[in-house]
């Protein structure tokens, strides 16, 4: 099975929004396709290899989780995907169209197809605009609705994100953090985008409202069928929301698999370590699970280790891992993994046992 087999079939959306410019790219093209995406930052200390050759596809209507510890390059991938940051290499395709080098002007009419909701999106809401106007604005900007129609649509959207009609007349500062994030989501979805990138959308919120906002995103995604790249370090959330999960380490994808398979059988030693550190709701399971404590800090992306980038912290690393770069191989079941020690049938070494050994 090729990775393309794991992409769900395109949904039948009555699509009047698509402009003539991307006719021919086809309704079957993935919502997002990143190929060898690279983002290096030149700094006084040297070149920060924040993202280093990431290839990833979000099919139409598919939710792909992107996980990895802080500093692994997740946000940079998200920002490059929506062209808020300029990739230094590779390509970004949205709905099959190469947008990597499009000018701002050429990008403008396509902006309605993809949106980024980030951790503190709510702080970017214009404080002088009412909630109703904030939500309706993208519709007006893209000329997709008359003033009256936009107002009606904004009212509908308010309801869909669980806010009351009277919220339309409030200002952002009059709302709670959770309500503001709902407004950001409503605004992002007002133009019915094909792709939503959600970068830690709940991590700035009170724990008590995080689940509600995640549920809202899940419901909206199911109803609307937009493709979603869901960036998070919350493994519980990603297990709940994502169809497929990609794991990043130091600017690269080290493993990708359908969500249930990744959780049931993490292959890469780094994925095993990441999952072992996550809390399990069932205390009986929690007791039996061996926690893999990784030694050391995430190495600097200024000087990634040679060979396998994870070898400096991997309990299983051998001589080959220290010198030879493992390629991201496609295994059966739509799994991709970059580890010399995982066999072609996906049999993985037990990092917990190795970590426990003296
Ligand atoms: P994550 O979202 O996974 O925490 P980021 O994408 O924010 O990771 O960052 C990846 C790496 O790139 C980090 O080492 C970060 O310090 C570095 N980085 C991000 N933006 C810049 C920038 N503008 N200039 C220099 N380094 C950057
Ligand atoms: Mg981030």
* DSSP assignment string, 129-143: S-HHHHHHHHHHHTT
Atom of ligand 1 nearest to the CA of 51: 10
pLDDT band at 352 (very low <50, low <70, confident <90, very high): confident
Residue from 50, 120, 309 to probe ligand 1 pocket by mutation (most atoms less than 8 Å from CB): 50
- Does 50 sit in the ligand 1 pocket, CB within 6 Å? yes
Kindly state whether residues 178 and 219 are assigned to the same domain: yes
Residues 271 and 244 in one domain: no
Residues 287 and 234 in one domain: no
**Is residue 67 located within the same domain as residue 149?**
yes
Tell me the CA–centroid distance for residue 6 and ligand 1, in Å.
Answer: 30
pLDDT band at 124 (very low <50, low <70, confident <90, very high): confident
In the chain the first and final C-alpha atoms are separated, in Å, by: 40
Q: If you average pLDDT over every residue of the chain, what do you get?
A: 88
pLDDT of residue 290: 72
Number of structural domains (the chain) is 2
Owner of token pair 């997002």: 32
Q: Which of 225, 242, 260 delimits the end of a domain? A: 260
Residues 275 and 237 in one domain: no
| 28-68 confidence digits (pLDDT tens) | 899 999 999 999 999 999 999 999 999 999 999 999 999 99
Residues 85, 213 within the same domain: yes
pLDDT above 90: residue 316: yes
| 217 and 334 together in one domain | no
Query: What does the alpha-carbon distance between residue 92 and residue 235 come to, in Å, rounded to a whole number?
Result: 26
For 142-186, what is each residue's pLDDT tens digit? 888 999 999 999 999 999 999 999 999 999 999 999 999 999 999
Q: Is the domain of 165 the same as that of 194?
A: yes
Helix ranges, 190-337 (H): 207-224, 235-241, 259-264, 269-276, 283-288, 319-323
Q: Which of 230, 260, 290 lies at the terminal end of a domain, its last residue? A: 260
For 74-121, what is each residue's pLDDT tens digit?
999 999 999 999 999 999 999 999 999 999 999 988 988 998 998 877
Q: For ligand 1, is residue 74 a contact (CB within 6 Å)?
A: yes
Which of 204, 237, 260 terminates a domain? The answer is 260
Residue 206 sits in a domain whose CATH number is: 3.40.50.300
Rounded Cα distance, 195 and 113, in Å: 6
- Within 10 angstroms of residue 171's Cβ, the number of other Cβ atoms is 15
Enclosing domain of residue 74: 3-260
């Amino acid at each position: 099975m090729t990775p393309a087999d794991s992409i769900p079939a395109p949904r039948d959306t009555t699509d009047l929004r698509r402009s003539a410019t991307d006719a021919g790219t086809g309704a079957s093209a993935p919502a997002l396709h990143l190929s060898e995406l690279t983002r290096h930052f030149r700094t006084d200390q040297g070149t920060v290899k924040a993202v280093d050759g990431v290839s990833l596809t979000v099919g139409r209507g598919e939710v792909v989780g992107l996980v990895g510890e802080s500093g692994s390059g997740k946000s940079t991938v998200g920002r490059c995907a929506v062209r808020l940051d300029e990739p230094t290499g590779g390509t970004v395709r949205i709905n099959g169209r190469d947008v990597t080098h499009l000018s701002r002007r050429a990008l403008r009419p396509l902006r309605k197809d993809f949106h980024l909701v980030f951790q503190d999106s709510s702080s970017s809401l214009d404080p002088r605009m009412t909630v109703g106007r904030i939500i309706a604005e993208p519709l007006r900007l893209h000329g997709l609705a008359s003033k009256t129609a936009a107002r009606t649509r904004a009212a509908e959207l308010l309801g869909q994100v669980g806010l009351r009609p009277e919220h339309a007349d409030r200002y952002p500062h009059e709302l709670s953090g959770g309500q503001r994030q709902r407004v950001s989501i409503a605004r992002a979805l007002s133009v019915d985008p094909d792709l939503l990138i959600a970068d830690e959308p709940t991590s700035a919120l009170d724990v008590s409202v995080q689940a509600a906002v995640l549920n809202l995103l899940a419901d909206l995604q199911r109803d609307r069928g937009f493709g979603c790249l869901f960036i998070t370090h919350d493994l519980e959330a990603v297990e709940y929301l994502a169809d497929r999960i990609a794991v990043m380490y130091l600017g690269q994808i080290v493993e990708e698999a359908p969500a249930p398979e990744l959780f049931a059988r993490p292959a890469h030693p780094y994925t095993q370590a990441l999952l072992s550190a996550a809390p399990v709701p069932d205390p009986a399971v929690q007791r039996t699970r061996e926690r893999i404590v990784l030694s050391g800090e995430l190495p600097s992306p200024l000087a990634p280790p040679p060979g396998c980038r994870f070898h400096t912290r991997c309990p299983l690393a051998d001589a080959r891992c220290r010198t030879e770069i493992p390629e991201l191989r496609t295994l059966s079941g739509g799994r991709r993994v970059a580890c010399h020690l995982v066999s072609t049938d996906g049999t993985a070494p037990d990092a917990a046992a190795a970590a426990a050994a003296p």
